[in-house]
Amino acid sequence: MNETEIPDGTTLLLKGGRALLPGKDWHDPECADIAIAGDKIAGIAADYRHVDRTDVEVIDARDHLVVPGFVNAHYHSHDVLAKGTLEEVPLETWRLYALPPQYPPRSAEEVYARTLLGALECLRSGMTTIQDMLTLYPYQERHMDAVMKAYDAVGVRVVFALQYADRKGIDTIPFWRDTFPSELHPLLSTSTEPERQLDLLGHFESTRLKSPAPTRVSWALGPSSPERCSTPLLQRTTELARRYDIPVYTHIYESRGMALQARLTIPEYSGLLIERLAKEGVLDPRLNFAHSVWLSPREIEMLAEHGAGVVLNPQGNLKMKCGIAPIRLLQGAGVRIGLGCDNCSCSDAQNMFVAMKLFTLLAAVSDPIPGPPQAANALRAATEGGAEGARLGQSIGRIAPGYKADLTLIDTADPSWSPMNSAARQLVHIEAGRGVRHVVVDGRIVVRDRRLTTIDEATIYDAVKTVMPDFRRDFAVISERVAKLQPYLDRAHRQIMTAPLDMDRLPFGSH
Ligand SMILES: [Zn+2]
């Protein structure tokens, strides 16, 4: 057997796993040894000599797949505790639960517990990077500190953006102002702080962007959505993104109502939000558009021209009655695609296997003409696509020397994997997370044998139990409030769904 000398400085060796390496066959991956030195992949070889090396921890990766850690490219940690609270509801209704106006302030303990819990779920399903687009309302520095402390303690990589806006929710949804009696209008905004004096963006710049980010954290900006942000706010966002060379995450065209709102309110931009952004000078490669369900073909071309990307969140899009993103059109135009699991209150599960499976199934159902094989595309979106959108494409999302050692080991001694006919197709269509056994972030094993190593998981569940009475009490108040609004919400939703909408394509991805 041809043994290779293990690279200097190796601290961890993943031995004999079948690894999804760039440019190689992901259906039938070869066995490889992966040497990790500190936080980086130091080398990959068929067989590293490692006997008599007491300074190297060896993980027996035989009967495992080694995949790049998944990048959850769209997620919000603010409603982790609301998982499983809702049945399927229209997006506009859901927003009143997820980001309600007049939301009672949360305790720092609750913020800490929910951040840990969300990160734990992500790690246990093989995600090594989370893009957290977080609403902290009302903003308190101690909440921000609690979030950073939680992420540091749990050991996950984070691309962090605060979510902000300067337009009230009621003015961004078609028919709402006319449908609801005026005394109910104060209940229809969402908690993005348009009325508060704090300059959140300026504060974020002075307290965070100007200093080096904490370990494993990189900064991003999170304007909530174009229709909820004024032109000056978006231009300021872009100016900061360019100055610090950081990514921007925003929501666009998640629902039919969002596309309709654009057609009704910005005729000067042909009713198209992407045209508005291009003319405002803010459309650039740093931008990531979560959802993008109702993009028109012309807007897709504009995204491709400007190098902007999308992050698809199929779970929430289905549950919130939003529709199906035009996956094939986006792929055809060469638009960068990442995958996310969005809020816990709408997607419920932070599970990239579910997101990948839905991505391939929706690409299939939305276009009657057979297209390219999608399993490897789904895996690339869940890894490289999300990494590139975060402007981390040179350091995460691939298993290659010099890249960060962010890796997930899937145990294939499981019925899902017998027989293994295609690693890529079985990862996407069969594996659901049960096989995630070890997770490495920054060269450190943070999940070993399906258990978090950095914090005792039981303490996280206990912390959540402690804060749940307060959360449930406040969520019940919000639910009662939404119930009062329900007849008007239903009426407005019917109007949104039946009003004519110029799309240039069928609204479920077909062309
Ligand atoms: Zn979102």
What is the distance between the alpha carbons of residues 348 and 79, in angstroms, rounded to a whole number? 10
Residue 303 alpha carbon to ligand 1 centre in Å: 19
What are the pLDDT digits (tens) for 256-297? Answer: 999 999 999 999 999 999 999 999 999 999 999 999 999 999
Residue 274 alpha carbon to ligand 1 centre in Å: 18
Written as six digits, the tokens of 80 are: 């982790």
Residue 23 alpha carbon to ligand 1 centre in Å: 32
Residue type (1 letter), 304 = A
Asked if residue 59 lies in contact with residue 70, where contact means CB atoms within 8 angstroms, the answer is no
Residue 311 alpha carbon to ligand 1 centre in Å: 10
Residue 444 alpha carbon to ligand 1 centre in Å: 29
Q: Tell me the backbone φ, ψ of residue 320, rounded to 5 degrees.
A: -90, 15
Residue 341 alpha carbon to ligand 1 centre in Å: 9
pLDDT band for position 510 (50/70/90)?
A: very low
Residue 63 alpha carbon to ligand 1 centre in Å: 36
Kind plus residue range of the DSSP H or E element containing 170: none
Residue 143 alpha carbon to ligand 1 centre in Å: 20
Residue 251 alpha carbon to ligand 1 centre in Å: 6
Residue 422 alpha carbon to ligand 1 centre in Å: 32
Residue 309 alpha carbon to ligand 1 centre in Å: 15
Residue 254 alpha carbon to ligand 1 centre in Å: 9
pLDDT band for position 368 (50/70/90)?
A: confident
Judge whether residue 191 has pLDDT over 70. no
For residues 38-46, average pLDDT:
98
Which pLDDT does position 511 carry in this prediction? 41
Q: What percent of the chain has pLDDT over 70?
A: 97
Residue 411 alpha carbon to ligand 1 centre in Å: 31
What are the pLDDT digits (tens) for 98-141? Answer: 877 777 889 999 999 999 999 999 999 999 999 999 999 889 99
Residue 76 alpha carbon to ligand 1 centre in Å: 6
Start-to-end CA span in the chain (Å)? 54
Mean residue pLDDT across the chain: 94
